[in-house]
Amino acid sequence: MRFSKYLIPLALTIAVVVSLTLSVVLWTNPANYRNNKQQTAQSPQTQQMIKPKRYVYTPVQALHTNADGTQQIMVNKLVNTVTEVKKTMHNYQNPKIKTLSKNSKVDYFRIANQTDSIMLNYSDTVSMRVVNYIVKNHFRKFPNYKINRIILPTNNSTKLYLLYDKNFTVYEVDVKKRSLKPLKKVLKMDMRTQPASFKLLNNKPAVYVTTSVEMQPYKYLIDRQSDDYYVSRLLNTQDSTNVNVKRRRNMTIYGDQSSLQLMFNSRNRMGEFSDFRPNHNRKNLTSAIQDSYKNVTKLGLPMDNVRFFSYDPNTRAIMYRTYVEGFPVFRTSGFGTVSTRTLNSSAQRTIFSLDNLEVPLPSNKGYVSLPSTETMLKRLKDHGYNMKDLQKVRLGYTWKKDTTSPLLIDLNPDWYIYYHKQWRSYTSLMNQY
C-alpha cells in the first residue's frame, strides 16, 4: 500500500520531465526550420562528363627503369598504366620535402635514371598544388614548387623524388615506410613496352624512344554536339530573349547584349566562347590552372580521356588534348580538344571542338612503324631544319576525317614537333620543302 502511494506521483513526475525534455529538444533542433528547398540537380549527362582535377591534371606517361638501367615507356593496352601507378600513391603518411640539388644536371639525371624506378611525366610544368590532386591531398603543406616529373623508386619504401626541368632541381620527399607490393604489381600488368631513354634534347630533359615505334592506327566514332547545346549552357542568362544571332558565311555568332559571345565555325566545327565579364586575372601557374578548370567544366564538353597538355606563361593559354593509348591527339592546325586563355582582367576565351572522340572502332589496319627519336631528328636536320628550332617532340595521333562517314575519324600515328611555337607533324615538316 505504501509503495502504490508513491507510484502515481513518481510516474507523473517522470512523465512531466520527459515531456519537458522532448519539447526542449524539438524546439532547439534546427532541422525543424531548415529550408525545404531541393538542390537543383545537374543533368546526369553533365555529371558524368565533368572529370575531377586529378583526372585532368595528371602525368600522361610512365617510364620504367629496370635493374640493369634500361628504360621503357609503359604503353597502355588493357589498363591505363599511369592510372594504375597513381592508385598506389594515395596514402603517403607524414611526407617531408627537402631540396636535394639545384642546377646540377649530373644529380638530376642520377636521380631521374636511377635503376628500379618508375618516372611519371607531366606533359608540361605543373605546380605542387596540382601534384597534390593525385596524392589525395597529402602534399598540401609543401611549398608550391614547380614540378615536371615524379620518380617512384620500386626498391625504396620511404622515398620519392620530384623533378623540375627548368633549373634541374631535385626535391626529395620522405614518407613513412609503405608497402612496395602495389607498385611492383603494376609492373606485371598486361601492357606494351617501348624501349626509351631519358636525356637532353636542346639542353632540356626529354624522353627519347630508342628503337622504331610500332603504333596502332585508330578509327573513332565521334560525338557531335550541336550549337544549341552550348548556347543554352553558356548564354544562360535570366531571360533568353536577349540572345541575338548573326550569321556570316560559315560563322554563326551568338551574343547576349553585353558581355558574352559564342562563335561557331561550321566548316572546321570549332566553337569559341568569349567572356568579357571581370575576372581575377591571376597570373601564377596554380591560379591559371584552377581558373581554367572552372571554365572548362562550365563548358560541359565531354572530358573522357582529355588531359592537361600545356601551359604557356606568356599568353596564359592552357591546352587540353584527348589521349589515345597514352598519346595525345593533334588536329592539322595543331589544336587539341579545348583551350582556355585569360587575356586581361575583362576577357577570357575558351576555344573548343564541337566534334570529339567517343567510341573506338575496330580497325583492320596493321601497326604503323615510326622512326626512333634520333633517326627522326637526324632526318629533319638533313632536310635543312635547325636543331635549335625543334624544341619538344612527342609521339601522337593525327586527327583526320574518314572518307566513308562524317561521323568517323581516323587517327594516324605520327611524330609531333614543337616548331616555331606550333605543334607540327613530322610528315608535314618533311613535306614542306
Partner 1 sequence: MNFRRIEIIFLVTFIAIDIFLFGMFRKNMDMQADNVSQGGSDSVIIKEMRNDQIKVGNLSRKNETAFYISGEQSDVLRNQMGQLANQTPQFVGHELESELKQPISVNKTNPQKSINKLLTDSTFVLFGDQYVYSKDLSTSRNIVYNQKALGSSIYSSEAQIRFTLNSNHQIVSYTQSYLQGIKSLRESSETISETRALIWLYQYNEIPNNTTVAWTSLGYTKLLSIDGDRVFIPTWIIAIRPQNSTQVQLKRINAFTGGIIKETDENLKNNPSSMN
Lookup: cell for 242: 536577349
| Contacting residues for 7 by C-beta, under 8 A, at least 6 apart | none
> Does residue number 386 form part of the binding site for partner 1 (CB under 8 A)?
no
> Does residue number 87 form part of the binding site for partner 1 (CB under 8 A)?
no
Q: Which stretch binds partner 1 (CB under 8 A): 57-65, 106-114, 343-351, 358-366?
A: 358-366
Angle, helices 285-299/227-234, rounded to nearest 10 degrees = 120
Q: Which stretch binds partner 1 (CB under 8 A): 27-35, 122-130, 332-340, 424-432?
A: 27-35
Mask for 313-342, x = binds partner 1 (CB under 8 A): -----------xx-----------------
Residue choice 155, 344, 405, 432 for contact with partner 1 (CB under 8 A): 405
Least distance from C-beta 80 to partner 1, angstroms?
A: 5
> Does residue number 360 form part of the binding site for partner 1 (CB under 8 A)?
yes
Size of the site for partner 1 (CB under 8 A): 43
> Does residue number 48 form part of the binding site for partner 1 (CB under 8 A)?
yes
Nearer to partner 1, 74 or 131 (CB): 74
In three-state form (DSSP H/G/I as H, E/B as E, the rest C), the secondary structure along the chain is: CHHHHHHHHHHHHHHHHHHHHHHHHHHHCHHHHCCCCCCCCCCHHHHHHCCCHHHHCCCCEEEEECCCCCEEEEECCCCCHHHHHHHCCCCCCCCEEEEEECCCHHHHHHHHCCCCEEEEEEEEEEEHHHHHHHCCCCCCCCCCCEEEEEEEECCCCCEEEEEECCCCEEEEEECCCCCCHHHHHHHCCCCEEEEEEEEEECCEEEEEECCCEEECCEEEEEEECCHHHHHHHHCCCCCHHHCEEEEECCEEEEECCCCEEEEEECCCCEEEEEECCCCCCCCCHHHHHHHHHHHHHHHCCCCCCEEEEEEECCCCEEEEEEEECCEEEECCCCCCCEEEEEEECCEEEEEEECEEEEEEECCCCCCEEECCHHHHHHHHHHCCCCHHHEEEEEEEEEEEECCCCCCEEEEEEEEEEEECCEEEEHHHHHHHC
> Does residue number 25 form part of the binding site for partner 1 (CB under 8 A)?
yes
Q: Which amino acid is located at 37 in the chain?
A: K
Residue choice 107, 214, 227, 304 for contact with partner 1 (CB under 8 A): 304
Nearer to partner 1, 39 or 94 (CB): 39
Picking from 175, 130, 173, 134, the residue whose alpha carbon sits closest to that of residue 148 is: 130
Q: Which amino acid is located at 145 in the chain?
A: Y
Q: Which residue has the cell 543533368?
A: 43
> Does residue number 42 form part of the binding site for partner 1 (CB under 8 A)?
no
Nearer to partner 1, 49 or 97 (CB): 49
Residue choice 28, 33, 362, 386 for contact with partner 1 (CB under 8 A): 362
> Does residue number 15 form part of the binding site for partner 1 (CB under 8 A)?
yes
> Does residue number 26 form part of the binding site for partner 1 (CB under 8 A)?
yes
> Does residue number 77 form part of the binding site for partner 1 (CB under 8 A)?
yes
Q: Which stretch binds partner 1 (CB under 8 A): 37-45, 91-99, 289-297, 413-421?
A: 37-45
Residue choice 58, 71, 72, 80 for contact with partner 1 (CB under 8 A): 80
Q: Which residue has the cell 601564377?
A: 284
Stretch 214-273 residues interacting with partner 1 (CB under 8 A) = 221
Nearer to partner 1, 180 or 408 (CB): 408
Q: Which stretch binds partner 1 (CB under 8 A): 75-83, 258-266, 339-347, 368-376?
A: 75-83
> Does residue number 29 form part of the binding site for partner 1 (CB under 8 A)?
yes
Mask for 171-210, x = binds partner 1 (CB under 8 A): ----------------------------------------
> Does residue number 408 form part of the binding site for partner 1 (CB under 8 A)?
yes
Q: Which stretch binds partner 1 (CB under 8 A): 115-123, 286-294, 357-365, 391-399?
A: 357-365
Residues that bind partner 1 (CB under 8 A): 8-9, 11-12, 15-16, 18-19, 22-23, 25-26, 29, 31-32, 34, 39, 41, 44-45, 47-49, 76-80, 221, 302, 304-305, 324-325, 359-362, 404-408
